[in-house]
Amino acid sequence: MSNKLRWLWYGLFFCAGIATAIFTSRLLKVTAREIPEQKQSAAPKSSPLNPKSTNVWGTIEALKIPFAESSEIFLDRDARLAPPRWFFENMSESQVVELFKSPDLTEPQRSELLKNSNWLAASNGFFASPSPALVRGLGSAAREKVYEVLAHSSLNYPQLFPFRFRFGDFAAPFARSGLSTAKLELIKSLTYTNSGDRCLADIELLPDMLSREEFNRVIDCLYRVPDYRLRLRVFPDSNIDALVKYWGKMGNEKRIRPMLESLAKAGGEDGATIGVGFFFPTFARLRLNTFPDSWDEPQVSKEDCFWTSLNFFNERPDMRYLDAAYVRKVLNTEFVPVSDEPVFGDLVTLIKPNGDGLHVCVYIADNFVFTKNGMTTLAPWVVMKISDMLLFFPSETEHQMIIYRKKTGVEMTRQAPREPRAQARKTN
């Protein structure tokens, strides 16, 4: 495995590993809950078609951007396009045979897979080399059954990291591909279900199913991150005090009020808009819509979701957040779980069914979050919907969410054990 692919693999699982140490038993006693999906704001049209929102954040308008690092968009090409080779890790011969006897496989498929000439024994399992024709002919149920087993081994890269789609929305990611309905159906025939999502692993088959140009367009679609540009629309009679209270966290009220008041006077009946990034502190504002490789920082390959989220309100990144012990201390002393609706700056954490922490990101508004999905340098800092973010962290059972909020100065001073007042104020 190349160094870049190794970093990709480590990055996708780093959050899960470090979070196990971070979320203590005390924190996990909090009742977890999910953030309900809320109605999206109307399209950015004139006032009659875009009524003012009664949400505390105002009226948000979202433009979806298919975001990618074009120079390295297919970095894992070798692993994705390798001929089919399955590894059944920590399984006995009889267990593999029993799997291949599944009624979801056809008799010709079963016979080919059971041929000893297609097998190679290893110290901790067995390799099988199915023909491309067999893989292409697998039904969805058979693919689901076999690939669920294959996904337990890091040697099965395509099954470990399949492309994921929400059911009922398969064609949407390929809207820019120009593929015919028939070609899209061919690709769809290679999909299967895993952890409640529609998955695609076998893109090594696509070059024989599509023209070169069609294949390149499909790859471009598959590797785009669902990023969003958010704008806040301010009307002449908008409640500026409420907007300042929501968006002016961590002492930024004075900085943002003049702009909000000016926007209320600028747009007439239809109001005027401003990018939500204006409300972000320096760290998040500069990193928004960038890739790690664009930052000349020696630790860039270690910058994960915890480092990103805890630095959100900083002017400059605090490198102590690369240390798991320090992150654990900060979460335990400076944040508190809350049961009310999330607000700008809250930490949205994903908790696995076994209680382990999996991911953390920062709530913005209207079910959008500021997130970096993994430690890998291929994961950009973006704003995306919570529903899109969840596709990066699949689970056989639903993840639960716990919302953590920065403690107020009063809470920090009251709970800090005999710290000097100046030091307590500094930590807010």
Chunk the chain into consecutive blocks of 10 residues (it has 428) and report each block's average pLDDT, rounded to whole numbers.
38 34 32 40 40 79 85 82 96 94 93 87 94 96 96 94 85 90 95 90 96 93 90 94 94 93 88 95 94 84 91 93 89 91 94 79 96 84 92 74 81 35 29
Separation of first and last alpha carbons in the chain: 44
Q: Are 171 and 371 in contact (CB under 8 A)?
A: no
Distance from C-alpha of 125 to C-alpha of 102, rounded to nearest angstrom? 19
Token pair for 51: 């009524």
Token pair for 364: 């913005």
The letter for the amino acid at 138 is L
Annotated domain spans of the chain: 3-72+227-426, 77-222
Beta-strand runs (E) in 285-353:
335-338, 347-351
* Bridge partner list, 405: 336
pLDDT at 71: 65
In what side-by-side order are the strands of the sheet with 59-67? Answer: 59-67, 225-234, 272-275
pLDDT at 53: 60
> pTM of the predicted model, to two decimals?
0.72
Torsion on CA atoms 175, 181, 184, 190, rounded to nearest 10: 150
Tally of CB atoms within 10 A around 52: 17
Distance from C-alpha of 130 to C-alpha of 147, rounded to nearest angstrom? 13
